[in-house]
Amino acid sequence: MLILMTNNTFTKVREVFKNGAPGEKVLLRGWVHRKMEVKNRVFLVLRDSTGTIQCVVHKDSVPESVWSKAKAITRESSFIVEGVVKPDKRAPGGLEITVSNIEIVGISSIFPIFGRESVEYLLDNRHLWIRSRKLTAVFKVKHTVLDACREFFLKRGWWEVTPPIITMSACEGGATLFELNYFGEKAYLSQSAQLYLEVLIYSLEKVWAITPSFRAEKSRTRRHLSEYTHLEAEASWYNMEDMMRVTEDLIHHVVKRVLEERLEELEFLGRKTELLEDLKPPFPRITYDEAIDVLRRQGLPIDWGEDLGADEERKLTENFDTPFFITLFPKKIKAFYMKLCPSNPELVLGFDMLAPEGYGEIIGGSQREDDYDNLLARIIEAGLNPEEYKWYLDLRKYGSVPHSGFGLGVERLVMWITGLDHIRDATPFPRFRERAYP
């Protein structure tokens, strides 16, 4: 039985294409991605985590038992195949396997996804659709994005920390909190780890974390998830400009790594990479006031003081072929913790980074309010209970320091880098309004 072979015995599909020599004997294992029968031949496309390769079973060249297995095996069955590497210009990738032996490990029932199914059907069968080559390519890119983020911070002396996702107070708007019963007390799923990260800068100075965040937003757009992967960073002694430079260097580093390691996946996804290849900081910067002027000139009716939604962001991105910043927002549309602009207290020292091509905001950040009295006034002004933020206010009483931070939506970044039409495909099991299966 082939299945008793050790892990070291098996060859990955990518290794065959990279190192395989004509006539070399190989042992592969995976799943039947496609199957086709033509006269006395059965074509099985084997899929493993590294790619796909065509395996050909010739009736006249194998025992009857092997031929019977080739005939009986179904799409998405798991199997082991033994054979010889053979060059063939007609085969995808120019190589194929001439099969000498097959072992069926797990026979598959008729696979319920054939192609051209509706989005809702594929979401209902996400646990099976997740095997698609498209989602596999996206998740490989996402892996590299996360690995590149970690590399970026570790090489620059930042400390990775583990803040909680159960919180007793809101970081952003209370209307988008998921409430839960925490042993008889009211608690919430975290919208952001920011407030906890601020605690840690007084000992570690520069900290960052990757955690899930939750927003109970009613909107169901191509950019929104109720649960998403949140990369957040906070640093003492940093002003807004310092933190903006961190974010643009981070994005440049991540995109460079993806281009180095995941070009094959980007090409499979049909992503045009010219814009990514030309990306280089510093990124352009415009103020909120300038953004309003641009939108008005482009025919969008918007009043000063209104928040920028998806339509406005998409319109602004038409003016740039690279990520860009919007800075100095009206305080009434931004969170209570953002520091007021010294030259105009109606504005805050906040920034958003928008991705081009209509993708919009991928990063939001600011210099944080470091003065106790100013922060208390902003909490009250926002209609929040100061008692719930006593611990946060304490940070301004005991050795306060100028500091800044940001939050990056990992799925939004992946969505832009891969050129996806919808954010749901940037995460294995998307959660948004009226959708929480499986």
How confident is the model at residue 68, as a pLDDT? 97
Q: What are 360-381's pLDDT values in tens digits? A: 999 999 999 999 999 999 999 9
How confident is the model at residue 235, as a pLDDT? 98
Measured distance CA(324)–CA(291) in Å, rounded:
11
pTM of the model as a whole:
0.94
**Is the separation of the CB atoms in 266 and 273 below 8 Å?**
yes
Distances (CA, A) of 365 to 108, 339, 362, 368, 432: 49, 11, 10, 9, 24
User: Helices 240-261 & 133-155, crossing angle to 10 degrees?
Assistant: 130
**Is the separation of the CB atoms in 396 and 371 below 8 Å?**
yes
How confident is the model at residue 223, as a pLDDT? 87
- DSSP calls for 118-162: -HHHHHHTHHHHTTSHHHHHHHHHHHHHHHHHHHHHHHTTPEE--
Residue matched to tokens 């094959």: 264
**Low-confidence residues of the chain, pLDDT below 50?**
none
β 95-106/78-87 pair status: antiparallel
Of 45, 98, 54, give the one whose Cα is nearest residue 74. 45
Domains of the chain: 2-106 (2.40.50.140), 123-426 (3.30.930.10)
How confident is the model at residue 335, as a pLDDT? 94
Measured distance CA(31)–CA(318) in Å, rounded:
43
How confident is the model at residue 365, as a pLDDT? 98
How confident is the model at residue 169, as a pLDDT? 76
Of 189, 167, 165, give the one whose Cα is nearest residue 177. 189
Residue matched to tokens 């996360």: 146
Q: What is the largest CA-CA distance in the chain?
A: 86
How confident is the model at residue 243, as a pLDDT? 98
Distances (CA, A) of 34 to 102, 140, 408: 16, 21, 38
How confident is the model at residue 216, as a pLDDT? 87
Measured distance CA(347)–CA(23) in Å, rounded:
70
Residue matched to tokens 């008793």: 4
3-state secondary structure of 291: helix
β 51-58/41-48 pair status: antiparallel
How confident is the model at residue 133, as a pLDDT? 95
